[in-house]
Copies of this chain bind each other. A is one copy, B any other.
């Protein structure tokens, strides 16, 4: 669909801007100044500002999903190790730029349907992958899915999770969550 490489400069500048100032900061004129071109040139690559925002969402959601899948499918590790690897993606040194973008987009998604759809796609992919890993650990699908949701909520931060699920109890800490994750299947495996 998109073979216009020139779009990427605008998309990246837009993502940097949304991280710094939120959606409202993503202005065609300001971006043009950042890129050292005039705002007229923007319309060679995009129909209008909305098209840029849509492309930013597309780029972001696709990137988040492939990054998560790549980490999950890393060869030579057990399901448990893969889970830890995924968790560490968001607890180790959480690329502050990436986190800022994610927060800004989730903020935006609170009042924009297209942004909400992108966030929902990303959340669904992450929950699906974590759920599959839990299934590999022996949980039946529904339990695995439930646990995936808990883990995701813990790791990402409940208030930021974009989901229709009812509110969960307060998360104690990431550490407790990881402990819980490890303890679960040695003592209380659902099926062997």
**Bound complex: CA A111 to CA B110 (Å):** 6
Docked CA distance A112–B110 (Å): 9
- Within the oligomer, what is the number of copies of this chain? 2
A112 to B111, CA, bound (A): 7
CB distance from A136 to the nearest CB of B (A): 32
Chain B hits for A112, CB < 8 A: 111
Nearest B residue (CB) for A112:
B111
Residues from chain B with Cβ under 8 Å of A110 in the complex: 111
CB distance from A23 to the nearest CB of B (A): 11
- CB 8 Å contact bits of A44-72 with B (1 = contact, 0 = none): 00000000000000000000000000000
Interface residues of A in 100-116 (CB under 8 A from B): 110-112
**A110 closest partner in B (C-beta):** B111
Determine the residue in chain B with the shortest Cβ distance to A108. Answer: B111
Bound-state CA distance A36–B110 (Å) is 37
Residues 121-155 (chain A) with a chain B CB within 8 angstroms: none
Chain B: minimal CB distance from A113 (Å): 9
Min CB distance, A71 to chain B, in Å?
33
State the CA gap A111–B116 with chains docked (Å): 11
Q: Determine how close the nearest CB of chain B comes to the CB of A165; give it in whole angstroms.
A: 12
How far apart sit A110 and B112, CA to CA, in the bound complex (Å)?
9
Of residues 29 through 49 on chain A, the ones whose CB sits less than 8 Å from some CB of chain B are none
Cα distance A19–B175 in the bound complex, in angstroms: 51
Pull 3 A–B residue pairs with CB atoms less than 8 Å apart, ordered by A. Answer: A110-B111, A111-B111, A111-B112
Top 3 nearest A-B pairs (CB, nearest first) are A111-B111, A111-B112, A110-B111
